[in-house]
Amino acid sequence: MVTQNFFMKLCCHSTLILSLYIFHVLHFCTSEAVTKVATNNGTTLPRWIMMFGDSILDSGNNNYLPTIAKCDFHPYGRDFKGGIATGRFTNGKTPADLLVEILGIKDLVPAYLDPKLQNTDLPTSVSFASGASGYDDQTAKFFSVLSFSDQLELFKEYIEKLKGLVGEENANKVVSESGYLVSAASVDLALTYFTIGARRLQFNVAAYTDFLVASASKFVKEIYKLGGRKMALFGAPPVGCLPFSRTVAGGPFRRCSKVRNQAAKLYNTKLLSQLDSLNASLPQARVVYIDIYNPLNDLIQNPTKYGFDVVDKGCCGTGTVELAILCNKLSPTCSNDAKYLFWDSFHPTERGYRLITQRIVRENINKLL
């Protein structure tokens, strides 16, 4: 169980990082799921999906951490059922929720740290992800959130709880038959490397992307040791086209940052190659690369095709820098977020996420089989 001392330890970096973030802002702005989903060849996908990583898959774990990287307040969640700010980094559902909804597994993915988590939720999809985390442990440390090592420890705790609930044999079955979805690298690249910049004293872009890929590979091997066999890892999105990146690195006209996008592409190429190696070396493993760079970039480059009016700013506040605590109840919001690709300066709206998730499912549904 995550201890009080652990939470106190996480807290120590929050003030520094908040100061750094605000500096950049000012500087650059003067029930159990048993449904089976049929695929083209008549086989079925996993009935359970475990989520790890960052804010793309965080269902509210950061609510229970002493971090500035949280969003359990309005206007976040304004289009969620009941208008509740659940700690999801958008106006409604995240890709975690949308994926299990589209696949017919369940409606929402609960956060593992939620004290209201029910025993009936344990044998189904659960999120261990933590917003602002990354493959680089420095990323999680900067923002006082759950590192991948922390998330693994929580998953081990989850397995023991599951054994107590359904027995060891059934628990092992859940672990081995689950799909594992992992999202990271966006914060590593966009914030830890390019914005905060500490890692640039140690690595050039080529070396840092090697470092991230090695960390991702290590995580896959850890899940494999625990019994996981079917894993899918998101690549990096076009981080240079995020509204925040446009503001801090896109010049006076807030164009996409080519340097940041090139780093994301380099990372993705290396990750894909590494996952091919893991598939060759880990018996019975199926580790899949999920391209999110092109689906998101397609929406950015062709907004009218998808019904968007604004793709360079978020709906919250000015849309150029607002994120987490800077997008709050005092921030004005757009009247129609369905016309905005981004909710804040870093995260898409539910509608944007839904279009991306639908394409991900369409292009990758058979790869895990």
Q: Among residues 58, 150, 337, 344, which one is catalytic?
A: 344
Known catalytic residue: 55?
Answer: yes
Residue 344 falls in the annotated catalytic set: yes
Q: Which tokens go with 57?
A: 């898959």
Q: Which of 14, 55, 257, 345 is catalytic?
A: 55
Task: Respond yes or no: is residue 347 known to be catalytic.
Answer: yes
Annotated catalytic residue within 150, 245, 345, 347? 347
Residues marked active site are found at 55, 344, 347
